[in-house]
Structure 1
Amino acid sequence: MADALELDTLWDEFHRVVNMTSQELAAWLRVRDAGEETEPLPEEMSSSTGQHVLAILQKRRTDLTEDDIKVMYEVVDTVTSEADLENEPEAEETKRRHRLMTLGHDPLKPSP
């Protein structure tokens, strides 16, 4: 398990790169996975990573598991490497934006 300082840093970094709320992410995952006729059941929707990010957003730091910490590191690394956090992409970069949104990062959402 990560030490307290490392976990604090990871928690802050994760919540910095995951700029969608749990409600926004849940709605995105439903829309992304909905078929033309139906909307999936919550447990059947999205990538497992997207669902894991959603679960982490609904937890307190003290409730994190080893798997949560692993996913948090993966999300921070992926968003940091794929997103230009200083100069967000143009709206035309749809595939990349949608991939990042599945991890909870909307590149077109203004920074707070």
Structure 2
Amino acid sequence: MSSRDDPDQTYREFTEAVNMKPGELSKWLETDESKQVGWHKGGRSGGGESVGHESGRRIIELLRRKRGQLSAADYTHMRKVIGYVHRHLAQRPSGDVQDTKWRWSLMNWGHDPLKASRS
């Protein structure tokens, strides 16, 4: 059975992929760094919110919701987050990633790669 069909596995993978707490993610999304990375639906200069930034706001809602309140659409978004984080981690640049758009983009999706390497 794939995580597509198993809500328990999806939930587990989501909570492993998202290693930032709701308050921490919310604070991050307010930063200029957070707002300058990612793909914007209207194109790079199209203004508006990036897909990752929008996802970050949704992730905060998901983390604050009780598990029994999660809908099928919520699980679909969780799978999207899991896929993004896994794909992006595989593209890690060499060297110090502290102040890179790669890290900032992942943080918009609720994953701080520096946190993962510290534990």
TM-score category of the 2 structures, normalised to the smaller one: 0.7 to 0.9
Q: Which amino acid aligns with 2:105?
A: R
Q: Give 5+ residue unaligned stretches, structure 1.
A: 34-44
Q: Structure 1 segments of 4 or more deviating over 3 A?
A: none
RMSD: 2.8
CA 1:51/1:68 → structure 2, altered by over 3 Å: closer, same or farther? same
Query: Percent same amino acid at aligned positions?
Result: 33
Label 1:89 to 1:72 Cα distance change in 2 as closer, same or farther (>3 A).
Answer: farther
State which of 97, 105, 115 in structure 2 corresponds to 1:91.
97
1:64 CA drift (Å):
0.5
1:53-112 Cα offsets, whole Å, 9 max, x none, are 11001011111112211110000001011114xxx9732561111111001000111464
After TM superposition, the score normalised by the length of structure 1 is 0.73
Q: For this pair of structures, how many residues does the alignment match?
A: 97
Aligned match for 1:105, one of 108, 111, 114:
111
Residue in 2 that maps onto 1:20: 20
Alignment TM-score, normalising by the size of structure 2:
0.69
Q: State the alpha-carbon separation in 1 of the partners of residues 97 and 13 from structure 2.
A: 25
Structure 2: tracts of 5 or more residues without a match? 36-48
> In structure 2, do the counterparts of structure 1 residues 21 and 89 end up closer, same or farther at CA, with 3 Å as the change threshold?
farther
